[in-house]
Structure 1
Amino acid sequence: MDEIVAAVEESLSPETREEFDARVERQAATVGHDVRSGALDNDDFAVGLELETYATDATGRLVRLPDALFDSGVCGKELGVHNVELNTKPDVFDAPGLERQAASIRTAVREARQAVADLSADTDRPADADADDSIRLPLDAMWTVGPSEGAGAYLDAHTEQDGVVIAENMRRNARYVALDNEILRRAGGSVTLDVPGVERAFPTILVESLATSIQPHLQIPATDDLPTYFDVALRTMAPVLALATNSPFLPAEFYPEVRGEEAHEIVTASHHELRIAVFEQGINAGCEPGREKVRFPRDLTAATDVADRLVADETYAPFLTEPHAEVPDDYTERFPELDHKRGTYWRWLRTVVGGQVPRGTRDRHGDTAGDDNTTASVRLEYRPLPTQPTATDVVGLQCLTVGLIRGLVAADHPVVGLDWADARESFYDVAANGLDADLAWITAEGEETTDSDTVLREVFEYARRGLTEQGLHEAKADAYLAPIDARRRVGTTPSDWKRERVHEVVDDGATLPEAICRMQRDYLERAGRVDSFVDWL
């Protein structure tokens, strides 16, 4: 604990900040040069994915994960001690590459679940115990049934040592603790969530661990094309999120014990994608207007904006690294402070420099690339999407995202000309209203529209085009997209189902907290036994 306190104090010192910012500027200048010179160009598009989730017991209550889980190497740590992160290795964006991605996603989920099951089986327990103590890893976007001590007590638990606040249920990671203290100091000591039905202050940013996401990645071969792909991707975020919404409720105990019409009113007003509000309100506390850390980003005017925007962004929780004795083979490791700052650049869409060599890459001589090849590259990280109910849904949403961006650019689609402010307004409208939002769009014929049917038909048309552009047969492209396209056809997303289920339970006489808990357990049970969300409708 003393080591973490010392590291946080050093991180928050003026001297560290000054040196950190100077290093960031120098490293950004080098990256900017590499962007201009074409050193980040590659021969292939590539795709990858990050997937976050949380742990529960057999009844659906949140539980802490044992540290031994992370010794297995099948998953990584996240902010809360209940969180895990799963990653796929990047693959070239073609038919074999997407096959490997789909298999990797399913394998990652299966192996992580098996690892926690094995740890549960090894846990000592009384021989006559009847309770099911097994740990589960459901796929979901926000936990709503708190642990045995309650969600409030769990998120509020913290200690203070030498002026440093340490959340009890946050990973013992100096970066997380420094970031927490940076935000708390800017925010006056607490962060507040204010959403329909709930207004509550929290003593740490652990509240952000309520939400989990999936993040598709798309590597762009030619850096000069990055602004076009980035600007197009911004304009896809509203319709893609509209098909993905999955977090309409906070933990049940935070809501008032109301029944009947009063409960229905809160459910109706609740956002379809509360993860957007939770992340923005939890991290942006204390930010100056226009300087928010989490927000819908501006269009790119040039590829060099990748580095320039990191320099201009407000520095949070800086850490200094020891200089390397030799130039690292990994491109990102050559710019540790710049990469660290990128880790606190929380835009809903962001660019990332560096990464692994995608499987399936071939060098200029036609030989398959090995692990010793350069990792210099630039990719889009698509960040607004919540974790989905099943692995099949995750695969479908990844294919929809990367296929749509690729298809729109390949077709020179006019949606890139949609006014930025309209795209932003549409994004936040979707977060609040889901499929009922106005989806700002420009059609292939150049006509502006907010008609959801028109917009979503084009979304799938151009997602298919993007997938076939990369070598997939039409039937295979349709198969990947089918689970998400089915949501369009029936007009229902996971958040729609959750809200409607809570309405039903309230109609049966339950209080709002009781209804949310019952809905959540129904969701976890169904998600655990079907191939995709639409299979339970």
Structure 2
Amino acid sequence: MTGPIDLAARSLRTETTAPFRERLHEQAAFLREQLDAGRLETADFAIGLEMEVYAVGAGDDGHALATIPADFFGVDDRISKELGLHNAEINTDPVALRPGGFERQSTAAATGLERGREAIGDDRTLVTDAMWTIPPARGSDAYLSAHETRDGLTIATHMRSNPRYYAIDNEVLDLTDGAVPLDVPGVSRSFPSILFESLATSIQPHLQIPDVGAFPAYFNAAIRTLGPVLALSTNAPFMPPDLYDDGIDPWDLLEETPHELRIAVFEQSVNHSEHPKVRVPDDIATTADGIDRVVADDLYAPFLADWANGHDDETFSAQFPEFEHKRGTYWRWVRAVIGGDPVPEAGDERSIRLEYRPLPTQPTVADNISLQALTAGLLLGLVDAEHPVTELPWTDARDSFYAAAEDGLGADLQWVDADGERTTDSETIFAEVFEYARRGLAVQGFADSRIDEVLGPIEARWTQQSTPSQWKRETVRRRLADGATLERAIREMQREYVRHSQRTDSFAEWLD
């Protein structure tokens, strides 16, 4: 059996590129044929969710980052591996976007999380959070930088053993001369690996679009919603304190640090080729553009399907494995995904869905499901109403997204309202965000009372003008005012966050 290091080395060889590109173009042509023939049409909208978590030591005096043993991942087929040894991802099976759908999503996410916490042992637990900040005993830099050289490749010690991860890591290291830079307020350093991307965790809601011809309308609307939706969900304002530069003023840091560091961390970890791979995507004019963009994207670490052991030739996705691999490194903040699992009453595995990628993991399952509902409902509502939001210039939508990452609910956002008027008024913007999210869910048959219930945890943030990132900043500010050092303030905040996240139903309860 070929090991992960050998496979990574094969990926990076020059002779792999030509056959990979040939297969990629053949498979893209196949997908365009499927699209033109109407074979990606489905019966209804459907939703799914990926929810990333990380492990820490258990107990009120612990909560330092911890690793997850490899045998843990057999406990539940909903739990899969991620980049770092401390990371895991909980996946929900897709369901039709109909009454009862969010209950099934919530049950799946909660059950996966509960089983994971039971299986990981009494000395560790899984945390629903967007960025770990209490480092392991060896320290954050030592943990993220530990590596060895094997067969000419750099192998990060705390990266999950996976040929794809190893190959991407070495692709980036080759582009950066062996040192991947990270530059955010208070932190200016470099690492011998992309592993610092595993500082951050996220959720990715998926929305299956039944009418493939309408896909561009949903995709382009999604780009315009990135700013407001991210502003409601920010949850990563701090790095582990031992990564901050020596002599940093904690009060200056409070003023300068973004509300959502995940955006910068992910972009800086892998954006080192000619064309940035992690960014807000351009608008699309046709559904086929979603295929062509993947083909044209800068190539990182190609893999050939016949290298895999036990390759399954029966599924739809198995007919385009090289395209799927390339799509897996097409890291736009919104992207199209073709294929997937059959969804009862909503279609088979031949489908196209929109993956909404910039959202940080939220404090509780209810918060994550509420954000999923907001995203799906908002996109359906905007398109159903033929709302003119896509008249907002793409550059303004992009700028709103990065403004939200920087300033959260206080960001200078831009929008086109229902009357077609440009506005920067937050009251107008968020009133429409929730109005059209309600409309989209109502169109799918949800009762008003259920819509209020599922959107409630996120809507409360606007009503009370607070998000998890704001709570974290204010908690650290109070600790500093009481005389704590920056390191102690962040550690105490993080312990309180973990306690609240495991003992409350939603973040809204923290604000009472």
How far apart in 2 are the matches of 1:182 and 1:196?
27
Q: Does 1:361 align with 2:335?
A: no
For 1:61, what is the secondary structure of its paired residue?
coil
**Counterpart residue number, 1:429:** 403
**Aligned mates of 2:250, 2:311 — CA distance in 1:** 62
Residue type of the alignment partner of 1:319:
F
Partner Cα distance (1:361, 1:40) in 2: 12
* TM-score of the aligned structures, taking structure 1 as reference length: 0.92
Q: 2-side partners of 1:516 and 1:423: how far apart?
A: 32
Kept in 1, the 8 Å contact 2:205–2:356? The answer is yes
Give the alignment partner of residue 348 of structure 1, picking from 326, 330, 333: 333
C-alpha distance after superposition, 1:227-283 (max 9, x if no partner):
001001111111000000000011111124658xx3111111101000000000011
Q: Provide the rounded CA distance (Å) in 1 between the counterparts of 2:133 and 2:399.
A: 28
Aligned to 2:318: 333
Structure 2 counterparts to residues 288-327 of structure 1, below 5 A: 288=274, 291-322=275-306
CA–CA separation in structure 2 for the residues paired with 1:396 and 1:21: 40
In 1, Cα distance between the equivalents of 2:187 and 2:403? Answer: 19
Q: CA deviation at 1:326?
A: 11
- Quick one: which of 250, 253, 263 aligns to 2:242? 253
How far the C-alpha of 1:323 sits from its partner, in A, is 9.4
Structure 2 residue aligned with 1:186: 175
Q: 1:505 to 1:257 in 2, by over 3 A?
A: farther
Q: How does 1:18-37 map to 2 (within 5 A)?
A: 18-37=18-37
Aligned partner of residue 355 in structure 2, secondary structure? strand
Q: Distance in 2 between matches of 1:3 and 1:466?
A: 48
SS in 2 for 1:216: strand
CA distance in 2, matches of 1:525, 1:100: 26
1:476 is displaced (CA, Å) by 0.3
Conserved? CA contact 1:246–1:386, under 8 Å: yes
| DSSP-derived class of the 2:95 partner | strand
Does 2:384 correspond to 1:381?
A: no
Report the counterpart of residue 4 of structure 1 in structure 2.
4
For the structure 1 residues 99 and 3, does the alpha-carbon distance in structure 2 shift closer, same or farther, using more than 3 Å as the test? Answer: closer
Matched, 1:71 2:55: no
* Residues in 2 aligned to 1:520 and 1:232: alpha-carbon distance in whole angstroms: 35
Question: Which residue of the partner structure matches residue 42 of structure 1?
Answer: 42
1:6 CA displacement? 2.0
For residues 488 and 234 of structure 2, the distance between their equivalents in structure 1, rounded to whole angstroms, comes to 22
Q: What does residue 498 of structure 2 align with?
A: 524
State the match for 2:13 in structure 1. 13
- Which residue number corresponds to residue 60 of structure 1? 63
Q: Is residue 7–residue 163 contact of structure 2 (8 Å, CA) maintained in 1?
A: yes
Q: Which amino acid aligns with 1:27?
A: Q
Q: Equivalences for 1:267-282 in 2 at 5 Å?
A: 267-282=254-269
Q: Does the 8 Å CA contact 1:256/1:513 hold for their aligned counterparts? A: no
* 1:55 aligned counterpart, secondary structure: strand
Contact 1:256 1:512 in 2 (8 A): no
> In 2, are the aligned partners of 1:55 and 1:63 still within 8 Å (CA)?
yes
1:99 aligns with 2:99: no
Aligned with residue 86 of structure 1, among 83, 90, 99: 90
Q: Using the alignment, how far apart are the partners of 2:468 and 2:427 within structure 1?
A: 19
Distance across 1 between alignment mates of 2:173 and 2:100 = 47
SS at 1:218's partner residue?
A: strand
Counterpart for residue 235 of structure 1:
224
TM superposition shift of 1:493: 0.2
Moved over 6 A (4+): 323-327
Aligned position for 2:192 = 203
Going from structure 1 to structure 2, the CA distance change for 1:171 and 1:456 (only over 3 Å counts) comes to: same
SS at match of 1:247: coil
Residue 320 to residue 2, structure 1, CA distance change in 2 (3 Å): closer
CA distance in 1, matches of 2:420, 2:300: 42
CA contact (8 A) 1:294 1:348 kept: yes
Distance 1:195 1:488 in 2: 27
Give the secondary structure class of the aligned counterpart of 1:56: strand
Question: Of residues 240, 253, 262 in structure 2, which corresponds to 1:266?
Answer: 253
Give structure 1 stretches of 5+ with no counterpart: 121-133, 363-373
Q: Percent identity?
A: 49
Q: Which moved more, 1:28-37 or 1:211-220?
A: 28-37
Structure 2 equivalent of residue 220 of structure 1: 209
Shift of 1:2: 8.3
Which residue identity does 1:19 align to in structure 2?
P
Aligned to 2:420: 446
Alignment equivalent of 1:110, drawn from 110, 114, 118:
114
Partner Cα distance (1:147, 1:213) in 2: 21
CA separation of 1:166/1:323 partners in 2, compared to 1, >3 Å: closer, same or farther? closer
SS at match of 2:94: strand
Q: Is the 8 A contact 2:42 2:346 kept in 1?
A: no
> Cα distance, 1:3 vs. partner?
2.8
CA drift of 1:414 comes to 0.8
1:97-146 per-residue CA deviation (whole Å, 9 max, x = no partner) reads: 222112222222222212223xx4xxxxxxxxxxxxx1111110000011
Alpha-carbon separation, structure 2, partners of 1:522 and 1:326? 46
Q: What is the DSSP-based 3-state SS (H/G/I as helix, E as strand, rest coil) of the residue aligned with 2:49?
A: strand
CA offset digits 1:175-223 (Å, max 9, x no partner) = 1001100011011111111111111111101000000000000000011
Q: How far 1:438 sits from its partner (Å)? A: 1.2
Q: Tell me the residue number matched to 1:370.
A: none
Question: Aligned with 2:332: secondary structure?
Answer: coil
Partner of residue 465 from structure 1, selected from 431, 435, 439: 439
Q: Which of 473-482 and 250-259 deviates more?
A: 250-259
Q: Is the 8 A contact 1:166 1:177 kept in 2?
A: yes
- The count of aligned residue pairs is 506
Deviation at 1:22, TM superposition (A): 0.8
CA distance in 1: counterparts of 2:508 and 2:103, whole angstroms: 22
Q: CA deviation at 1:511?
A: 1.8
Deviations 1:461-516 (A, max 9, x none): 11011111100001100100001000000100000010111111111112212211
Q: Quote the Cα distance in structure 2 between the aligned partners of 1:206 and 1:516.
A: 22
Per the alignment, residue 415 of structure 1 pairs with 389
Q: Which deviates the most, 521-530 or 205-214?
A: 521-530
Choose the corresponding residue for 1:287, options 264, 270, 273: 273
TM-score by length of 2: 0.96
Partner AA of 2:35 in structure 1: V
CA distance in 2, matches of 1:147, 1:102: 31
Distance in 2 (alpha carbons) for counterparts of 1:257 and 1:526: 31
Relative to structure 2, which stretch is displaced further, 504-513 or 55-64? 504-513
In the aligned structure 2, how far is the partner of 1:182 from the partner of 1:257?
A: 31
Whole-angstrom CA distance in 2 between matches of 1:187 and 1:378: 35
- 2-structure distance, mates of 1:359, 1:145: 42
The Cα shift of 1:360 comes to 3.6
- Distance in 1 separating the partners of 2:279 and 2:206: 19
Query: Would the aligned equivalents of 1:327 and 1:334 in 2 still touch at CA under 8 Å?
Result: no
